[in-house]
């Protein structure tokens, strides 16, 4: 039972991490200092998808499932196992990855524009500028 809890928790964390990688840049619009953890998460996500880095959550889920007597993820990664062919067709993997990257880029562009606007407002309302 404990191994299955580990596997399920790793799967849930994985889904949460993927959601954060894709949409976490929008948190920066409200909390500008959130750019740093999102930058790290996006860089890691890029490394996993482009470079082929291993993800410890995939390993942890596989380990938990195998030790719980279930079939593990095998040679597939988390995305291949749960998303490709289920959420989007396998032949559209590259387009899905590009769409996710576009969402990240748009969130960062929006954050940069908001930061610029905030800096401009701060300069205008500064007593030294009057």
pLDDT for the residue numbered 130: 53
Please give the mean pLDDT across all residues of the chain: 92
- Give the closest residue to 82 by CA, choosing from 103, 105, 55, 102: 55
For the ranges 15-19, 49-53, 123-127, the lowest mean pLDDT is seen at 123-127
pLDDT tens digit string along 3-12? Answer: 999 999 999 9
- Distance between CA atoms of residues 97 and 119, nearest Å: 33
Q: Kindly tell me the number of DSSP H helices and DSSP E strands found in the chain.
A: 6, 0
pLDDT tens digit string along 50-91? Answer: 898 889 999 999 999 999 999 988 788 888 889 988 999 999
- Distance between CA atoms of residues 77 and 84, nearest Å: 10
Q: How many CB atoms lie within 10 A of CB 48?
A: 18
- Distance between CA atoms of residues 105 and 42, nearest Å: 10
pLDDT for the residue numbered 129: 55
């Amino acid at each position: 039972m404990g191994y299955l809890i580990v596997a399920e928790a790793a799967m849930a964390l994985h889904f949460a991490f993927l959601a954060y990688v894709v949409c976490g840049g929008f948190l920066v619009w409200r909390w500008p200092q959130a750019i740093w953890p999102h930058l790290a998460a996006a860089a890691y996500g890029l490394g996993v998808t482009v470079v082929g880095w291993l993800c410890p959550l995939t390993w942890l889920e596989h380990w938990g499932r195998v030790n719980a007597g279930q079939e593990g993820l095998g040679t597939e990664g988390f995305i291949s196992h749960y998303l490709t062919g289920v959420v989007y067709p396998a032949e559209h993997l590259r387009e899905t990855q590009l769409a996710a990257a576009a969402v990240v880029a748009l969130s960062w562009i929006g954050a940069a524009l908001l930061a610029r606007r905030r800096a401009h407002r701060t300069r205008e309302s500064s007593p030294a500028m009057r």
